[in-house]
Amino acid sequence: MPKYLLIVDFRPGVDDTPIERWTEDEVAAHLDHYRALNEELVASGELVGADVLSPPDLSVVVTADGIGAPVVTDGPFAEFKEWVAGYQIVDVPDRARAVEIAARVSAVPGRGGRPLQQPVQVRRIMTEDAPDDVEEMRAYAQQAGSAG
């Protein structure tokens, strides 16, 4: 079965009130939604992995030329709304099921229990379809370039 990466960033959805200004009950409901969904996906065998990521200020960027020591810097980083907050990897029969799960992630409750409608990026993990020769890599790069 294909695997999909569901990416959640810090785009706010329908309510841009920072989570640090939510009530304890609102934050708890938000976290409980993720917990319950992940438990359900584990039970169905669809969840491969899920994690919350540290904020970029605790991250580094590494570049290397393969000869000298790598260069490690603390940025530059994208805007806050573009930071990846967390992800889930699901192993599902098709894209439609991945979208169905992403919709449940998007509906995570925010203030007052209102679904946030937070954008969730759904990307197929290209295991069998990954480019592994020059022509496939060129075709992949051309397709990726035309999508942007």
Question: Quick one: pLDDT band at residue 56, thresholds 50, 70, 90?
Answer: confident
Count of CB atoms situated within 10 Å of the CB of 9: 19
Question: Quick one: pLDDT band at residue 91, thresholds 50, 70, 90?
Answer: very high
Q: Provide the pLDDT for residue 3.
A: 94
Looking up tokens 């980083």 gives 77
Q: Indicate if the pLDDT at residue 76 is higher than 70.
A: no
Q: Provide the pLDDT for residue 138.
A: 81
Q: Indicate if the pLDDT at residue 36 is higher than 60.
A: yes
Q: Indicate if the pLDDT at residue 148 is higher than 60.
A: no
Nearest to 110 by CA among 20, 2, 38, 9: 20
Q: Indicate if the pLDDT at residue 42 is higher than 90.
A: yes
Please tell me which residue, 147 or 136, carries the higher pLDDT value. Answer: 136
Mean pLDDT score of the chain, rounded to an integer?
89
What is this structure's pTM? 0.82
Q: Which residues does residue 85 pair with via DSSP β-bridges, in sequence order?
A: none
Q: How many CA atoms lie within 13 A of 110 on its CB side?
A: 20
Q: Where are the domains of the chain?
A: 3-147
Any idea which fold 3-147 has? Answer: Alpha-Beta Plaits (3.30.70)
The residue type at 51: D
Q: Indicate if the pLDDT at residue 23 is higher than 80.
A: yes
Q: For 10-31, what is the mean pLDDT?
A: 92
Nearest to 124 by CA among 77, 92, 101: 92
The four Cα atoms 30, 33, 34, 39 give a dihedral, to 10 degrees, of 150
The four Cα atoms 123, 126, 129, 130 give a dihedral, to 10 degrees, of 120
Q: For 42-69, what is the mean pLDDT?
A: 91
